[in-house]
Amino acid sequence: MQAKRVTFPGKITPYLLLLPQVAVTLVFFVWPAGEALVSSLFAQDAFGLGSTFVGLANFAALLRDPAYLEAVGVSFLFAFCVTVLAMGLGLLFAAAADALGKAAGLYQVLLVWPYAVAPAVAGVLWLFMFDPSVGMIARALRTMGLSWNHMLDGGQALTLVILAAAWKQVSYNFLFFYAGLRAIPQGALEAAALDGAGPFQRFRHIVLPLLAPTTFFLLVVNLTYAFFDTFGIIHATTGGGPGRATTILVYKVFRDGFEGLDLGGSSAQSVVLLVIVVALTALQFRHIEHKVSY
Amino acid sequence: MAGTSRLSLLFAHLVLIAGAAVMMLPLYVAFVASTYAGADFLSGRVGLLPGPHLVENYRLALTTGSSTAGIPPVGPMLWNSLVVAVVIAAGKISISILSAFAICYFRFPLRVPAFWLIFMTLMLPVEVRILPTFEVAARLDLLNSYAGLTVPLIASATATFLFRQVFMTIPDELTEAAIIDGAGPLRFFWSILLPLSRTNIAALFVILFLYGWNQYLWPLLVTTDASYFTVVMGIRRLVGAAAEADPVWHLVMATAILALVPPVLVIAALQRLFVRGLTETEK
């Protein structure tokens, strides 16, 4: 890791400057993460009075637990749908805005604002539109012959949280795709146009390859978002139900830990999630390394 | 794009109009719903245009809430959200800029380990370590306090990296000149580094304000006393009430609008800074 060529002398000053950040990090990040690691290796007795070392038994139990495996499945399905929907729409809107040039300004404001909405609030907005008794979309679906009740139908509940989560994330993808498209050299596109390439061919053979780094970056960000930042959406709308239809992994950690008071199991789940975060972050950093050198 | 025909321009407009409509739909529906009386929902009197109860509903939501449905007033929750968002944003920026300064401008034995320690926080989102972090906060007696709502969320690896990158672009000659003029590290930090990072600080503030305002899970855990509720976490109580017999969707939607308008206004007003902050923190 490089430093400045010119530095200040001082033995204590740098430590004092680092102190607040390091203190918060140790107390609220390292200590709890350590506790999670440790308690993932212990089993709590029924009264919470003592605990026994069980090694990796908590992890083995997870793999045998159908509820956990179901949550894994739900998480992947959810993350896949949110990512595809949010990235597809983001790219579509960005391509259209790019074609308009300066005239896209107003659209940009109209498309970007949902980024500022809290996931929980986004969930509540969509919950209202799909409310079986008063929601306008639920009513419209009923007149078309489809009875909507996400409180009873698991598939419908999952559709609802996917829509809310993707809606909020389109803005983000739009911004990054739009910036990526703006950065594509016009010369290459003009040359291709002169050679007789139609808009679709130009998009397929020039724009898409040049957008690949942005796409990859967004893929990682969207997966991280779908896995970890959507807790509010799920908690405020479906509460993981009906049954376990919308219980994604993050929600299950919360449910088992706070409602089920299963410390060992919940910690083991945390550790699994931690591994997923580390993997996603590592992917992201490999990408960043190409852009800037630390 | 090069060689765009009139037809494809028209098509682009159509795509964006449809897109904007989909993105705006939930907001419009919520706004319309917030202008009707509670009883209008069940009788199907809520239409496509705003109703007559706008002022009344918002006043009710802000000041009294609905005691029959167990709904606390939104006014104090908005204030809590503002305090939390400002403290988190200001706190993250101050501790990160100090640590970035230490890492860039000093040589000391623990420089690299400190850097990696901060780097690790990037990998530990609060959702992943909820239970133990909650226990730590409880042990430190931070439940139901502004400190509990903010301090555990204040460490930020991304902000540290961002400031580090900004500092690396500042020429060494400037530091040399400052040292020759007799400036110590703190003088240099205050008179040169801070002014040079002003726009980065502003851009980061916009992003971190949104982050703080939109927190949900953490406030939900550390507050049981209604006087510390933030509006984003408090809204869930309203949804619970709306699902009961008492039709309070008008109050829920008024609250949702009140919860989302401040951050949306911040973005609309500072869009240039927002986009800049976003692309810099992420890429």
Q: What is the pLDDT of residues B155-198, one digit of tens each?
A: 888 899 889 989 998 999 999 999 999 888 999 999 999 999 99
* CB-count burial class (<10 Å; 0-12, 13-18, 19+) for A50: exposed
pLDDT per residue as tens digits for the range B83-134: 999 999 999 999 999 999 999 999 989 888 998 888 877 777 777 778 888 9
Task: Indicate which of A5, A8, A203 best probes the interface with B, i.e. most B CBs within 10 Å of its own CB.
Answer: A8
Using alpha carbons, select from B105, B187, B202, B114 the residue that is nearest to residue A23: B114
Would you say the C-alpha torsion A137, A143, A146, A149 has a positive or negative sign? positive
ipTM: 0.90
Cβ–Cβ below 8 Å for A281 and B279: no
Is A42 part of the contact surface with chain B (CB cutoff 8 Å)? no
Domain range summary for chain A, segments of one domain joined by +: 54-287
Asked whether residue B13 is domain-assigned, the answer is no
Which tokens sit at B35?
């202008």
Which domain, by its residues, includes B132?
67-279
Which tokens sit at B70?
């167990």
The torsion angles phi and psi of B231, rounded to 5 degrees, stand at -70, -35
Is A289 part of the contact surface with chain B (CB cutoff 8 Å)? no
Residue A65, SS3 per DSSP: coil
Query: What pLDDT was estimated at residue B282?
Result: 63
Compare CB distances from B136 to A31, A116, A117 and report the shortest one's residue: A31
> Is B47's pLDDT higher than 80?
no
Which CATH number is B215's domain given? 1.10.3720.10
Cβ–Cβ below 8 Å for A1 and B112: yes
- Using an 8 Å Cβ cutoff, are A40 and A268 in contact? yes
Which tokens sit at A246?
């919308």
CB atoms within 10 A of CB A121: 30
Is A208 part of the contact surface with chain B (CB cutoff 8 Å)? no
Could you say which DSSP state residue B27 is in? H
More confident residue, B208 or A45: B208
Place of tokens 């957008």: A211
Using alpha carbons, select from B194, B206, B224, B259 the residue that is nearest to residue B62: B259
Asked whether residue B86 is domain-assigned, the answer is yes
Query: What pLDDT was estimated at residue B2?
Result: 45
Could you tell me how many residues make up chain A? 294
For A68, A182, A193, A262, B94, the CA distances from A52, given in Å and listed in that order, are 23, 59, 71, 14, 43
Asked whether residue B37 is domain-assigned, the answer is no
Compare CB distances from B275 to A22, A120, A175 and report the shortest one's residue: A175
CA distance B135 to B123: 20
Which CATH number applies to A54-287: 1.10.3720.10, 3.40.1160.10, 3.40.50.970, 1.20.120.80? 1.10.3720.10
Chain B nearest-CA distance from A268, in A, is: 11
> Is B262's pLDDT higher than 90?
yes
Which tokens sit at B80?
């809590």
The torsion angles phi and psi of B277, rounded to 5 degrees, stand at -60, -40
Q: Which residues pair with B71 in a beta bridge?
A: B66
CA distance A146 to A252: 31
Compute the radius of gyration of chain B from its Cα atoms: 24
What is the number of alpha carbons within 13 Å of residue A175 lying toward its C-beta?
Answer: 22
Return per-residue pLDDT of chain A as tens, 294 residues: 667 888 888 889 999 999 999 999 999 988 888 888 888 888 776 556 677 888 888 898 888 999 999 999 999 999 999 999 999 999 999 999 998 887 788 898 899 999 999 999 999 999 999 998 888 899 899 999 899 998 899 999 999 999 999 999 999 999 999 999 988 888 888 888 888 888 788 888 888 888 988 899 899 999 999 998 999 999 999 988 898 999 999 999 888 888 877 778 888 888 888 888 888 888 877 766 555 433
Query: What pLDDT was estimated at residue A45?
Result: 64
> Is B17's pLDDT higher than 60?
yes
Asked whether residue B62 is domain-assigned, the answer is no
Is B216 part of the contact surface with chain A (CB cutoff 8 Å)? yes
The torsion angles phi and psi of B203, rounded to 5 degrees, stand at -60, -45
Using alpha carbons, select from B129, B249, B186, B76 the residue that is nearest to residue A125: B249
Mean pLDDT of all residues belonging to chain B: 87
Is A48 part of the contact surface with chain B (CB cutoff 8 Å)? no
CA distance B74 to B98: 36
Nearest CA in chain B to A206: B1
Is B263 part of the contact surface with chain A (CB cutoff 8 Å)? yes
Q: Model-level pTM?
A: 0.90
Confidence of residue B68 (pLDDT cuts 50, 70, 90): low
Query: What pLDDT was estimated at residue A283?
Result: 80
Domain count, chain B: 1
Asked whether residue B144 is domain-assigned, the answer is yes
**Considering only CB atoms, which chain A residues are within 8 Å of B121?**
25, 29
Amino acid identity for residue A47 in this structure:
F
Q: How distant is the alpha carbon of residue B83 from its chain centre? A: 11
Query: What pLDDT was estimated at residue B67?
Result: 62
Using alpha carbons, select from A150, A174, A166 the residue that is nearest to residue A79: A166
Is A136 part of the contact surface with chain B (CB cutoff 8 Å)? yes
Q: What percent of chain B has pLDDT over 90?
A: 52
The torsion angles phi and psi of A149, rounded to 5 degrees, stand at -150, 95
Is B7 part of the contact surface with chain A (CB cutoff 8 Å)? no
For A86, A167, B19, the CA distances from A91, given in Å and listed in that order, are 9, 14, 11
**Considering only CB atoms, which chain A residues are within 8 Å of B3?**
189-190, 193, 199
Is B118 part of the contact surface with chain A (CB cutoff 8 Å)? yes
Q: First CA to last CA across chain A, in angstroms?
A: 6
> Is B283's pLDDT higher than 60?
no
